Amino acid sequence: MARLFSVGLLGILLLPGVSSALEIKNVRPCYGVPLGATRHDVKLIPGDVLFITYDIEGLKVDTQTGKANYLTTLELLDSKETVLFKKETPNESSPQLGGTRMPGDLFINTGRTQKPGKYKIRLTVNDRIGKESKAFVYDFELLSPTFGFVGVTAPAVGFPGQNYMAGFALVDMSLDKNKQPLVDVMMRVLDQSGTKEVTKPIYSSLPKDLPEDTNLEKENFLPMQFPIYLNRAGTFMIEINAADKIANKKIQLKYPVTVIDVPGGK
């Protein structure tokens, strides 16, 4: 059950008690939403969000109500195992498609002033009917503040005719003597291999495209969105590049999107 991502180690913990049928499976960091593209790099910068989905398998269901009843406890720990944050959430759900699996998700907001270092997320599931508990631990690292993408929202799937939106925020842009950035952003859609453009790129330039009354000296955080009209089925690669010309820094975000045709009738 242990799964190693490019950065970050996942551990599944069996808590004290009888031998367990309860399992936590498919733990997956992703971008922003439960159906977000998988996130392979979990080295975060301050202001970013770590979003993780998982499945709980083997929950006992009350034969009278047809509902599962369980408690999830989310904890954030620092490198010294000190609990920095803890939240308990009671859950009562009906598995209306049958089976004993329930999907779950969690997210951790990193503050813009949070101290860099190594951290852990611990998520514990307590099955109140089955009287069993299981937990997983996920390691991640918070880097020092730097020019980058945070709060990425990137659905992994879509359907023809949908107006898809790639969203993110840029943080810690260098500012000139007029307190303005000099940043170029480009979004382009590539083929499945990520090598060939399938449409013309979309560009944005700062400060030209800054919203009115933006004060980056006060808060160096700028939300941005790029719309994509999904006109046909297929698998594509979304690539977003940003260049801070003052600091001479370049960053890139790249992830796949699969557009699925809905089966027709006869």
- What's the pLDDT tens digit per position in 197-228? 999 999 999 999 999 999 999 999 999 999 99
pLDDT at 33: 87
Over residues 239-264, the mean pLDDT reads 95
Averaged over 53-70, what is the pLDDT?
Answer: 95
Q: Is 70 exceeded by the pLDDT of residue 82?
A: yes
21 vs 173 pLDDT, higher one: 173
* Mean model confidence pLDDT for the chain: 91
Flag whether pLDDT at 11 surpasses 80.
no
Alpha-carbon span 159 to 72, nearest angstrom = 33
Contact by Cβ (8 Å): 52, 27 = yes
State percent of the chain over pLDDT 70: 92
* 2.60.40.3880, 2.40.50.140, 2.60.40.10, 3.40.50.970: CATH of 10-142: 2.60.40.3880
pLDDT confidence bin for 58, thresholds 50/70/90: very high
Q: What are the start and end residues of each CATH 2.60.40.10 domain in the chain?
A: 148-259
Cα radius of gyration rounded to whole Å, the chain: 21
Sign of the dihedral defined by the CA atoms of residues 208, 214, 216, 220, in that order: negative
What does the pLDDT average to over 103-113?
A: 93
Q: Which of 229, 246, 90 is nearest to 166 (CA)?
A: 229
In the chain, which segments carry CATH 2.60.40.3880? 10-142
The yes-or-no verdict on residue 236 having pLDDT over 70 is: yes
Give the per-residue pLDDT at 15: 45
Mean pLDDT throughout 154-161?
96
Specify the pTM: 0.87
Question: CATH topology for 148-259?
Answer: Immunoglobulin-like (2.60.40)
Q: Calculate what percentage of the chain has a pLDDT beyond 90.
A: 86
pLDDT at 4 over 80: no
Tell me: pLDDT of 81 over 90.
Answer: yes
The answer to whether residue 107 scores a pLDDT higher than 50 is yes
Structure confidence by residue, pLDDT tens digits, 113-151: 999 999 999 999 999 999 999 999 999 999 999 999 999
Q: Which of the four pLDDT bands, split at 50, 70 and 90, describes residue 99?
A: confident
Query: Hunting for tokens 């449409």 — which residue is that?
Result: 199
Name the nearest CA neighbour of 56 among 138, 129, 125: 125
Cis check: omega of the bond before 263, within 30 degrees of 0 = no
